[in-house]
Amino acid sequence: MAGRRVTAEEIVAEVLKDAPFFATSGGGVTLGGGEPLAQADCACAVLRQSRLQGIHTAIETCGHVPWSAFETILPFTDLFLYDVKNLDAGVHRAQTGGDVALVLSNLERLAVSGATVIVRVPVVPGFNDAREDIRAIADHVARLRIRELHLLPHHRLGNSKYRLLGRPVAFRTHEGVPGTHLAALKRVARGAGLIVKVGG
pLDDT tens-digit profile of 125-142? 888 999 999 999 999 999
* Interatomic CA distance for residues 178 and 101, integer angstroms: 30
pLDDT band at 148 (very low <50, low <70, confident <90, very high): very high
pLDDT band at 4 (very low <50, low <70, confident <90, very high): confident
* pTM, entire model: 0.90
| Residues 67/23, Cβ–Cβ less than 8 Å | no
Reported as a single tens digit per residue, the pLDDT across 62-101 is 999 999 999 999 999 999 999 999 999 999 999 889 999 9
Percentage of the chain modeled with pLDDT above 70:
92
Alpha helices (H) in the chain, listed in sequence order: 8-16, 19-25, 40-52, 67-73, 89-96, 100-113, 131-143, 159-164, 179-190
* Interatomic CA distance for residues 80 and 117, integer angstroms: 5
117-123 and 79-83 as β-strands: parallel, antiparallel, unpaired? parallel
**What pLDDT, on the 0 to 100 scale, is given for residue 178?**
82
**What pLDDT, on the 0 to 100 scale, is given for residue 95?**
87
Domain coordinates in residue numbering, the chain: 11-20+28-57+65-73, 84-200
For residue 176, whether the previous peptide bond is cis, meaning omega lies within 30 degrees of 0, is no
* Interatomic CA distance for residues 198 and 123, integer angstroms: 10
Could you say which architecture CATH assigns to the domain 84-200? Alpha-Beta Barrel (3.20)
| Eight-class DSSP state of 127 | T
Pick the range with the lowest mean pLDDT from 30-34, 64-68, 145-149, 154-158: 154-158
